[in-house]
Structure 1
Amino acid sequence: MPARQPPVRRPPLKGHGATAAPAAPAGGLFVLVSCEHGGKHIPPEYREHFAGYAPLLDSHRGHDPGALLLAQEMAAALDAPLVAATTSRLLVDLNRSPGHPRRYSEITRPLPHKVRARIHAEHYLPYREEVEKLIATAIARGATVVHLSSHSFTPIMDGRVRNADVGFLYDPGRPGEVALCQRWLAALHGRAPKLRLRRNYPYTGRSDGFCTWLRRRYPAARYIGVELELNQRHATAGGPAWTALRADVVAALQAALHDHPTLQVHRAGLPGAESAPAGERSYMGRRAREDGTQEEGTSTIGKSR
């Protein structure tokens, strides 16, 4: 079994030097973007367990098509940190809470406990802890965190067509999440009135997920968690319409944050990373290439390209 590599920092992106992350102002927003299902990669040491499962990995069960690209574009537009994974959710689902019966798939659930424990230690924990570290540090500095979790959903589930282009998942009992989603939805409708936009669809905002888990740890006044769900038919079709949809979603998000009645958007970069370069850094057992590109199967955190 190959030894796990320690976290390494990426070199600065072209045009960026080392910068310090200023403390978040009291009452400001700290925006964080994450993508838990950004790819379908299976690390080499586990591929024997996935023999014959290529069609499943290629399907919505294996990853969320389009979610990573949109996450990168949201992070770039807001100059926000991005935490993203390209390892398949069929290895372990980073969006499921600890102890959830579907955190491991039907492929990995029957594996010996020591194998699942290694997957947990090498893939699940580092990702979740990285997100929580950013949130905790920003809140300690006086900011309110806006956490945007990027996902996509299959157009047809169990033979039923899902009637939405974009879904906004949030907790109706948390006023900050309600306000942000209302503004985001209204701004997106203004830009693209033909899109079918729905609240808490195709899932409820309170169903199990990373944002739901984080709500239990942080008060509503300090943590605003929204899961964005895009219909995968747009990513599959591609072309100018897909590009325009992403641009509209990002522009509407910028408008929603800018128009927030009480909070000022804070784009401070990485909290607690004063000595870090402004580029991405990789972790979870894979080494960044010398040219700064990402190896398949890694997770990254940093400024989006």
Structure 2
Amino acid sequence: MALLVTCDSGGDRIPESLREPLAHAGWRNTFAGVDAVISSPASRLSLPLVDRDAHFASRIIAEHAGCELIANPFRADLVDVGRSVHHRNLFAPAIRKLPAKIRKSILSEIRTPYRDAVRRRVSGMLLEFPYVVHLSIRTFAARSASGQWQRGDVGLLYDPGRADELDWCLDLSDELYFAMPDLRVRRNHPGRGTNDSLTKAMRKHFYDVHYLGVEVVLNRAWAARPVRRRREVLRVLANAIREVTPEATPQAA
């Protein structure tokens, strides 16, 4: 199966080489309080520092879809590896206040290796298969910044101008409707697939080949619940992904 799952935001580590420079620069390591934040009901409404639920979901999806997973092991509050280097939300406010030398080190230690690893894996898969479906897994806050409830359980973010991505997302929406009618699947919500992201960057890099990049974003209203039902929903989602991504025949050498 020419399918790759990635997770940008589920890591909980700090690179060893950055610990001392960050401490000397006055960056406060808030990780000690993350567990309490994650376990509280309010964490289902907003995004935590460490999106462990995205990491959990990506593991379950990759396992049951039978594909490879590349996950960023480092904390997303150091740098959002899915953003371009000029995006205003590349760094969290606390990191933006640090010296430029430290910010450059964060990029070279975290962002660059992760994106290079994804790019190399997609390149390798395209040498073997005629197409690759790349799914980037994230969660989104149950409430918007204005306090409104976010509608939908699963969002599929894609470029509507790319017919292959549109068709794949339509097929997955139909498959999920028949498999789990109560699951609310929305396309290009709560964001747009053409917004700044890792999949957008990969589309630009692999513009002349059959690369499909889709962000699968999960509403934290249910994604953060430590119950069996969450695992069951993720299994259904993974099985549907497998059904609409037929086995690709390896290309002749």
- Say whether residues 1:265 and 2:248 are aligned partners: yes
* Displacement of 1:65: 4.0
Taking only aligned residues, the RMSD between alpha carbons, in angstroms, comes to 2.3
Q: Shift of the alpha carbon at 1:192?
A: 1.0
Deviation (angstroms), 1:57: 7.7
Equivalent in the alignment of 1:216: 204
**1:290-305 correspondence to structure 2 within 5 Å:** none
Give the structure 1 partner of residue 2 of structure 2: 30
TM-score, reference length from structure 1: 0.71
CA contact (8 A) 1:211 1:226 kept: yes
Give the direction of change, closer, same or farther, for the CA distance of 1:40–1:156 in structure 2 (3 Å limit).
farther
Q: What SS does structure 1 have at the residue aligned with 2:138?
A: strand
Other structure's SS at 1:265 match:
coil
Instruction: Give the Cα separation in 2 of the matches to 1:254 and 1:141.
Output: 19
Whole-Å separation in 2 of the counterparts to 1:194 and 1:172: 25
- Shift of the alpha carbon at 1:61? 4.6
Shift of 1:196: 1.3
Give the secondary-structure state (helix, strand or coil) at the position aligned to 1:216: helix
User: Residue 123 of structure 1: which of 96, 101, 110 is its match?
Assistant: 110
SS at match of 1:250: helix
How far has the Cα of 1:219 moved from its partner? 2.3
Alignment correspondent of 2:185 = 197
More relative contact order, 1 or 2 (CA 8 Å, 6+ apart): 1
TM-score by length of 2: 0.84
Equivalent residue, structure 1, for 2:120: 133
Any idea what the Cα deviations from partners look like across 1:146-195, whole Å, max 9, x if unmatched? Answer: 10111111101221100111110100011111111111111111111011
- Does residue 241 (structure 1) correspond to residue 219 (structure 2)? The answer is no
Deviations 1:95-149 (A, max 9, x none): 1012212111101111111111111111110000000011122223453111011
Alpha-carbon distance in 2 for matches of 1:245, 1:150: 15
Distance 1:79 1:237, change over 3 A: closer
TM-superposed CA distance for 1:80, in Å, is: 2.0
Q: If each structure's strand is expressed as a fraction of its own residues, which one has the higher value?
A: 1
Q: How many pairs were matched up?
A: 235
Find the counterpart in structure 1 of residue 89 from structure 2.
Answer: 102
Distance 1:194 1:219 in 2: 36
Deviation at 1:51, TM superposition (A): 4.2
User: Gaps spanning 5+ residues in structure 2: where?
Assistant: none
Mean Cα deviation higher: 213-222 or 242-251:
213-222
In the alignment, which residue of structure 1 is the partner of 2:168? 180
Residue in 2 aligned with 1:87? 74
My pick for the range that moved more, 98-107 or 43-52, is 43-52
* Alignment partners' CA distance in 1, 2:190 and 2:208: 23
